[in-house]
Each structure stands twice: as C-alpha cells, then as structure tokens.
A and B are shown apart, each in its own frame.
Chain A
Amino acid sequence: MWKQRSPGQSSFNDYNTFPLPQTQRVQPSYAHGPTFHTQQPLVTGTSVLGIKFDKGVMIAADNLASYGSLARFRDIQRLHPLGQHTLIGVAGDMSDYQWLQKELDALLREEDALALTDSHPSLSPKNIYQLLSNLFYARRSKMNPVWNAVLVGGWDKVKAESFLAYVDLLGTTYTAPTLATGFGAHLAQPLLREAYEAKAGIDGTGPLLTQEEAEKVLEDCMKVLFYRDARSINKFQIATITAEGSTISDSKSADTYWAFAEGLRGYGAQTQ
C-alpha cells in the first residue's frame, strides 16, 4: 500500500537526464524492489485484559473497532469462544482477527467432526495457544505479521486448572495470572496485579480472587482505560471461563464521573 519506488526500479540515472540502457530479461523477483506486506493495522481494537480467579479466568475487551482515531464501529465483539473451554480476546487489526476467527473455527469444526467418530476430546486451551504462537511467529518471520495481540483464556480439563496466556504479532509469548495488551499493559496491568497480589501474595500462593472480586477489578480497569485511552469506549464485555464452560456477558458500561472536567480548559462551556 505504501510501496515506494526503490532505487533498483529506476530506469533513469540519478539526475534523470537520460534513460539507462536496459537489457530485456526475466528479472529476478528482488529486482522489483522489496516486497511489502502489511505495514500497519487499519481498523483496530484496543486493550484486552485477563485475570485468573478462584474458579477460572476472565477476559475483558471493549466493543470498539477504531479507524485511525475515528470511533468507527462501536458494537464489535472482540471476545471469541473456541469450543467449550477456550476463549480468545483480540486486540489489533480487526480484519486479521476476523480471518483468525474463520481459520480457528474451521479447525475446531474439523476436530469436532472427527470426534463424533473417535470420541477424542477437542483441542485444549494449551493446544490452541501453541498453534497461535507458532502461527504468529511464523508469520512475523515472513515479515507478514498477523497484526494482533491475543489473550487466550481457558480451562484445562486434564489438569483441572485455569489457563491464561499472551501472544502477539511478533510471536512474543508469555503467561501470568493477570495479563493485558496494548495500553492496558501500562494502565491496567498494575491495577490487576495489585488486586491479585493483595490476596494471593507476590508468589501467588494465597487465595485467588472470587468471581465477584475479579469482575469488579476488571470493571474498574475498563473504566480507567476509558478515561485515559482515546481509542476505547465505555462499552465492554467480560468473558468468564470455568470448568463448566465459557460465557460472555452482554455489553455493559462503567459509571463515570466527569464533574472534574468542568475546571478543564477547552472543555464544556468554558472557552478560554
């Protein structure tokens, strides 16, 4: 899209005085200059948050898909279930996200179809995470990244424990009891950690948050993000994954307080 004329393509000399003599021959592909793949995301989603609680894991994301700084699509669900016990929350390029949904859904559909005959359980959260990690790393290595940051939340039925992990467009992977992408990594992650460690301790050996507590801290974080992240809106969903399966809440909003803004220059009635 932003492809520029590269020096190798030029049929003129540096001073554009005369055409250089050229022999007609099959040109090697590099002779056309470098190939550019995706250079930037277009329609984007912002932060995704994740936190483990005593019975599973929660993932939150707002409903906005921005076009640059324009709040273009405001009812986009960025939480996507993959089977009964896995769910992804996706930030970054929304068309890459939609492609990802289609691919993963097709894969899981095939697994389910085979399972009718051989009764083998479908892919676990860990399996799906491994696949995504491989995919994202392979694509970035081809200089053609899948432009997303993804949180994978799930319930591992074999180990009977919750699963939460992160992978992004560079193929970077890590896991932690609380996770956040994008702006959330700066604004929400400290709050999530604080709440998590208040009960579980720094080593995570204490009790985990209850479902209510986890939901409360996520809502608080979504509010903070709405206040400070200009690519967010106050309309978000929270997914909960437990041993019983995954559920995604209806869209909701946080109570916000804007009275302080009265004193701000350039806001409201005040013009000077």
Chain B
Amino acid sequence: MTSIGTGYDLSVSTYSPDGRLFQVEYATKAVEAAGVAVGLRCKDGIILGVERLLHSKLLVKGANRRIASLDEHIGMAGAGLLADGKHVARRGREEAASFRENYNSPVTVQILSDRISAYLQAYTCYGSVRPFGLSTILGGVDKTGPKLFCIEPSGVYYGYRAVAVGKGKALAKTELEKIVNKEVEGQTSLTVREAVSEIARIIYLVHDDNKDKDFELEMTWVCEESGNKHAPVPADLLAEAEAKAKAALEEGMEED
C-alpha cells in the first residue's frame, strides 16, 4: 500500500495528493473482516441474513444477535465493528422515531437510508472523529413496496435487489446474482419464503469451515406473513432451511 507512511492517511480530514481519503478506505477494511451479511429483495418482502461468527464456544446460543430493528417495518444488518453497528442502529431508531414524531407516518426505507447516510458521512469530514467501520444493510416494506439499501462507511448508499457485505461478500454476490438473473430472464421471482433457504444456502456456502470460527445463522424478514413487520424468520422454517443448506453443501463437496 502506497499510502502507508506518507502521513496522508492518519486523519479523515486529510486528502492524499491524489485526492483519496485513506482513513475511509481503512474503515472499509474493518468491514471485510466481519461475518457476511446478506439482504435480498423479493416481490413480496425483504429478507436479511447474517453469519454470526462465534469467537467463543461459551457464548449463549441464539443470543448476541447482530440484526436490529430500526422501526416496526425496517430491519438493519451490519457488518464491521460490532459496537459501531449498535451505534448506527440506535441512531437509526432515533431517526425513524423522529420522522414519526414530525410527520405522524412511518419513515420509508429510502428516507431512513438517506438520513443514516448523512450521519455516517459526517464522520468522514472531521479530524476529531473516525469513520464508522461498518457497512449497513437496511431492508423493509413501506408504502412504496419492499426496499433494500446498503450504506458504506463513506456514507454512499445505493438501492439493491440483493446485496452482501463482509467477509466473502464476493462469493455471496455471485450467488445472489444467479437468483436475481433468473428473475430478469423472465422466470417467476422468489417469494421471501422460498428465499429463506436460498439465503441460508449462500451463507453456509460462504462460511469457510477451515478458516473461520463456528457460526450461527441469523435471519429476519419483512413480509406479509410477518404482518409487514420486521421479525425473525420462524424457527421451524429457519431450521428447515439450515438443514437443506447443510445437505446442499455436502452434495457439492462430493461433486468436487
């Protein structure tokens, strides 16, 4: 890395001579070390999944969840520094609540993404702070339909059909593209219910058994079945999807 030692990479308030903000780039490095987080937008809702890496086997099973609710109808899955994730989630909840307070109506995913993005961006402007080491996936169903966004540490955000962040995002994206392409080619798109097993499969595929620690699969959705509320995917459905994912993985291994 040419940036190291130049002195232009120590603060977000300093550009390098070629116009880069290295501190923001370094912040994205923190994201790349985190367990993968995936979001998929279906015709009837959205689904979020994360690979919750377990750094100790003494951790309570099913606890320490990484997905947060920002409002009744919006969920957030972050990848990066866990504590930064909690910070952004709290800010997101405040923004969503403030929108309701002001306008007496639920915030749309787009507007909430915009507000969170502005917040993250502010942390890339001043030497007195560091950027968030966090990529944030926001998903929800609002009056405009199912919506999915991803906000980077720089504050830049885009809407997505499907998105993956964290370790192994490249592989996850390839798999997600296959799903989305089918839809583009005119085949009927997935329902969230069908997508549960797809997301489970992708996360199991991305997880590197040899290199990574153990993990737990965490999944939430917003769809008609959940009353258009952000809720955990029902335990039985999740267990079924996990079993299928494991089976598919073993099958794939045998083929190799």
Physical contact A–B (CB less than 8 Å) = yes
Distance in angstroms between the alpha carbons of A119 and B75 in the assembled complex: 15
Q: State whether A106 touches B231 (Cβ < 8 A).
A: no
> Distance (Å) between the CB of A122 and the closest chain B CB?
13
Q: State whether A116 touches B230 (Cβ < 8 A).
A: yes
Can you name the residue of chain A whose Cβ is closest to the Cβ of B232?
Answer: A116
Residues of A within 8 A of B230 (CB): 116
> Distance (Å) between the CB of A119 and the closest chain B CB?
8
> Distance (Å) between the CB of A70 and the closest chain B CB?
26
Q: Does A220 sit at the interface, judged by CB under 8 A?
A: no
Q: Does A249 sit at the interface, judged by CB under 8 A?
A: no
Q: Does A37 sit at the interface, judged by CB under 8 A?
A: no
Q: State whether A116 touches B220 (Cβ < 8 A).
A: yes
For the complex of A and B, list the 4 residue pairs with the smallest distance between their C-beta atoms, beginning with the closest. Answer: A113-B69, A116-B69, A117-B65, A117-B68
Q: Which residues of B contact A (CB under 8 A)?
A: 63, 65, 67-72, 75, 93, 97, 100-101, 104, 220, 230-232
Count residues of chain A with CB under 8 A from any CB of chain B. 11
Q: B-facing mask of A86-125, CB < 8 A → 1, else 0?
A: 0000000000000000100010011011101111000000
Residues of A within 8 A of B65 (CB): 116-118
> Distance (Å) between the CB of B223 and the closest chain A CB?
15
Residues of B within 8 A of A118 (CB): 65
Distance in angstroms between the alpha carbons of A106 and B105 in the assembled complex: 12
Pick the residue among B67, B71, B72 that contacts A117 (CB under 8 A): B67
Pick the residue among B68, B100, B220 that contacts A106 (CB under 8 A): B100
> Distance (Å) between the CB of B72 and the closest chain A CB?
6
Given A116-B67, A116-B230, A117-B65: A106 in contact with B97 (beta carbons within 8 A): yes
Residues of B within 8 A of A110 (CB): 93, 97
> Distance (Å) between the CB of B99 and the closest chain A CB?
11
Residues of A within 8 A of B75 (CB): 116
Can you name the residue of chain A whose Cβ is closest to the Cβ of B86?
Answer: A117
Interface of A is mostly: helix
> Distance (Å) between the CB of B23 and the closest chain A CB?
29
Residues of B within 8 A of A116 (CB): 65, 67-69, 75, 220, 230-232
Residues of A within 8 A of B63 (CB): 119
Distance in angstroms between the alpha carbons of A118 and B64 in the assembled complex: 7
Distance in angstroms between the alpha carbons of A109 and B100 in the assembled complex: 11
Can you name the residue of chain A whose Cβ is closest to the Cβ of B229?
Answer: A112
Q: State whether A106 touches B101 (Cβ < 8 A).
A: yes
> Distance (Å) between the CB of A84 and the closest chain B CB?
13
Identify 7 residue pairs between A and B in the complex whose beta-carbon atoms are under 8 Å apart, listed by A's number: A112-B69, A113-B70, A113-B71, A113-B93, A116-B67, A117-B67, A119-B63
Distance in angstroms between the alpha carbons of A112 and B75 in the assembled complex: 12
Residues of B within 8 A of A114 (CB): 69
Distance in angstroms between the alpha carbons of A106 and B93 in the assembled complex: 11
> Distance (Å) between the CB of A106 and the closest chain B CB?
6
> Distance (Å) between the CB of A115 and the closest chain B CB?
8
Distance in angstroms between the alpha carbons of A102 and B70 in the assembled complex: 17
Distance in angstroms between the alpha carbons of A102 and B104 in the assembled complex: 9
> Distance (Å) between the CB of A117 and the closest chain B CB?
5
Residues of A within 8 A of B97 (CB): 106, 109-110
Can you name the residue of chain A whose Cβ is closest to the Cβ of B89?
Answer: A117
Given A106-B101, A117-B68, 11 further pairs, Cβ under 8 A: A102-B101, A110-B93, A112-B69, A113-B68, A113-B69, A113-B93, A116-B67, A116-B75, A116-B230, A117-B67, A118-B65
